[in-house]
Amino acid sequence: MSNRDTLAGCAALALWAFLAPLARLALPLPPLLLTALGFAAGGLLGLIVVAARGRLALLRQPPLAWLHGVGGLAGFHALYFAALALAPPVEANLLNYTWPLLIVLLSAPLRGLPLGPRRLLGVALGAAGAALLLAGGARFPAEALAGFACAIAAAFTWALYSVLAGRLARVPTEAVAGFCLASAALTFVAHLAWESAAMPGPRQWLAVLLLGLGPMGAAFFLWDIGMKRGDPRLLGTLGYATPVASTLLLIALGEGAFTWQVAAATALVAGGGVLAARA
């Protein structure tokens, strides 16, 4: 495992912190349409880079690689949006953010990586910080059971996609461009089936371009590198920094207030990350 490749995964986590602010910039685009356009932008930009390097042949991958790539990217987003549609968003987001914990726990049986008490304590602190930040006023009504199930399934999908990437280390990162484009096609079909048609304006197109450059483009490539050649246990623990960083960005943009919960969550996630890194 390479420290440089782990840092690539950390860069992906940093880029995902911009997902919520950019999604707000794209309002009022329907979420599935925004996801399809973001995947398309990220995939096309990736394809340009791959073509410029003369490596388009690397997009030819076996069915298992496509099942893993498209199933992980499109499957996670489909389940996540279904959870938001069928359950209260606070509770759905809280359950979805079990994926960092699942990445750490699945690293032992699926990748044969030891955990140890310090690493487990680190991820527990991160989980506590995310829960403190996301769980304010959370309730779990029985009528939203299907939505909660989708949120948990989304978390498992992303965790399995991430951890199993290390078992598919021979699949080059360049193939992610193809996975993004295929995911764009699938989510666009879902948009046509379940959402009203909408035409992006200049502000929405800017948000789509920035999404393709960052959280729905470069981030997927960097995450693939981090999960294949970096330390998934540390990246899973640091995954809890994403909702905290996203909240801090929204506060900086005037979308919220800096409360004691935000400060405590920041301290817990930072402390957990330090513990996991030292482990």
Cβ atoms 276, 123 nearer than 8 A: yes
Cis status of the peptide bond prior to 28, with omega within 30 of 0: yes
Q: What is the average pLDDT across 235-239?
A: 93
At 250, the pLDDT band (50, 70, 90 cuts) reads: confident
pLDDT of residue 210: 97
> Which amino acid makes up residue 142?
A
pLDDT at 200 over 90: yes
Across 87-91, 165-169, 247-251, the highest mean pLDDT is recorded for 165-169
Q: What is the average pLDDT across 219-235?
A: 95
Cβ atoms 16, 221 nearer than 8 A: no
pLDDT at 207 over 90: yes
Cβ count within 10 A of residue 210: 19
At 134, the pLDDT band (50, 70, 90 cuts) reads: confident
At 159, the pLDDT band (50, 70, 90 cuts) reads: very high
Cβ atoms 231, 8 nearer than 8 A: no
Q: What is the average pLDDT across 234-249?
A: 90
Q: What is the average pLDDT across 20-34?
A: 90
For the record, the structure tokens of 167 come out as 């078992």
pLDDT at 71 over 80: yes
In Å, how far are 102, 119, 164, 233 from 108, measured between CA atoms? 10, 12, 12, 9
pLDDT of residue 1: 65
At 125, the pLDDT band (50, 70, 90 cuts) reads: very high
pLDDT at 138 over 70: no
d(CA 70, CA 182): 7
Q: Choose among 136, 153, 133, 137: nearest CA to 145.
A: 153
Cβ atoms 240, 100 nearer than 8 A: yes
Residue 214 is given by DSSP the state: I
